[in-house]
């Protein structure tokens, strides 16, 4: 099978409930990714054909490529930027995950691969000892320094089934809206994120994500009211151009949906301070220059009288 075909087996939408549960436990990207690996390390290893992550979970067995597709699906569902790493000479696959800071919990040298200016840390998915299993950045000795092919996963969900179900009944499509109380705001101000699910669904979990840079991160999970609406007050802590979206995983009747992405400009406080300082400096300079400019005509009149 061509390497690019593996991306078709990465299905984040189907694994969103797992990602949401993990984010309710962990607060940091590295902890979240290690939590995913702990899940994989509990599944028995068994050689098999490539299959969808839902099948791997249902059958409770798999090998390196099925584990890697499952891990990548959960990590992407959780907003992390991931790739698949294929070691052709060793016929092995694992995951590369990009996190903002170098792994802090690795117990050995840290291994990573660079792609398009981003560093992806090795995440080994095999191994049966979940309490002592591989952590992000750690690499089995036989793969250290090995040549690797990087399989990107941009828009992988568009290439594969968004929902993998054991039911023979097709799920009804749904939609979710998203609105921001402001498109431009100062850092530290509050922002209201709101929207609704259609058709109306009460007591459903909606996960809000934000992206500052290239990685999506979970902001919060909110519950819809009796009218299918949701609302959340957010206090962005970082300045810059941010993007926000909402996601609903669906239920037994309706397929999940993602909202459109909204752009938010958060102006850092220090920008405001610099702007105020600049205005004050310019104002002082103008005030000082004004008397001088007014005095010049008087000097010219006196000079003409003396002549």
Q: Can you give the residue range of the structural domain that contains 202?
A: 175-267
The CATH number of whichever domain residue 253 belongs to comes to 2.60.40.10
Residues 148 and 225 in one domain: no
Residues 107 and 218 in one domain: no
Question: Is 262's pLDDT higher than 50?
Answer: yes
pLDDT of residue 292: 54
Residues 121 and 243 in one domain: no
Question: Is 307's pLDDT higher than 60?
Answer: no
Q: Tens digit of pLDDT for each residue in 230-249?
A: 999 999 888 889 999 999 88
pLDDT bin (cut points 50, 70, 90) of residue 156 is low
Q: How many residues does the chain have?
A: 307
273 belongs to a structural domain:
no
299 belongs to a structural domain:
yes
Better-predicted residue by pLDDT, 267 or 80: 80
Question: Is 188's pLDDT higher than 90?
Answer: no
Residues 150 and 195 in one domain: no
Residues 130 and 24 in one domain: yes
Provide the domain count of the chain. Answer: 3
Residues 8 and 134 in one domain: yes
Residues 241 and 295 in one domain: no
CA distance 9 to 1: 12
Give the global pTM.
0.55
Residues 222 and 95 in one domain: no
Residues 69 and 146 in one domain: yes
Percent of the chain with pLDDT over 90: 58
Residues 49 and 129 in one domain: yes
Q: Tens digit of pLDDT for each residue in 3-49?
A: 878 888 999 988 999 999 999 999 899 999 999 999 999 999 998 88
The CATH number of whichever domain residue 18 belongs to comes to 3.10.620
pLDDT of residue 169: 47
Q: Tens digit of pLDDT for each residue in 285-294?
A: 787 776 655 5
């Amino acid at each position: 099978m061509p390497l690019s075909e593996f991306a078709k087996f990465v299905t984040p939408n189907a694994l969103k409930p797992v990602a949401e549960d993990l984010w309710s436990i962990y607060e940091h990207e590295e902890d979240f990714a290690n939590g995913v690996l702990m899940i994989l390390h509990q599944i028995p290893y068994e050689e098999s054909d490539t299959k969808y992550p839902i099948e791997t979970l249902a059958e409770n067995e798999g090998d390196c490529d099925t584990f890697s597709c499952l891990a990548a699906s959960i990590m992407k569902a959780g907003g992390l930027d991931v790739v698949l790493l294929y070691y052709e000479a060793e016929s092995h696959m694992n995951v590369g995950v990009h996190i903002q800071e170098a792994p802090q919990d690795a117990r050995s040298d840290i291994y990573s691969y660079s792609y398009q200016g981003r560093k992806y840390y090795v995440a080994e998915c095999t191994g049966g000892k979940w309490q002592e299993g591989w952590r992000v950045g750690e690499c089995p000795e036989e793969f250290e320094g090995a040549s690797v092919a990087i399989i990107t996963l941009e828009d992988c969900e568009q290439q594969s089934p968004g929902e993998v179900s054991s039911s023979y009944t097709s799920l009804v499509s749904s939609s979710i809206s998203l609105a921001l109380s402001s498109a431009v705001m100062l850092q530290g101000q509050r922002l209201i994120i709101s929207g609704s699910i259609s058709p109306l669904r009460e007591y459903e979990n909606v996960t809000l994500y934000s992206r500052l840079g290239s990685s999506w991160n979970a902001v919060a999970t909110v519950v819809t009211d009796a009218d299918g609406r949701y609302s959340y007050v957010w206090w962005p802590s970082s300045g810059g151009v941010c993007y926000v979206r909402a996601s609903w995983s669906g239920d037994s009747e309706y397929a999940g949906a993602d909202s459109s992405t909204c752009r938010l400009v958060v102006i850092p406080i220090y920008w405001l301070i610099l702007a105020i300082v600049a205005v004050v400096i310019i104002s002082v300079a103008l005030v000082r220059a004004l008397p001088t400019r007014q005095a010049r005509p008087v000097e010219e009149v006196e000079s003409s009288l003396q002549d």
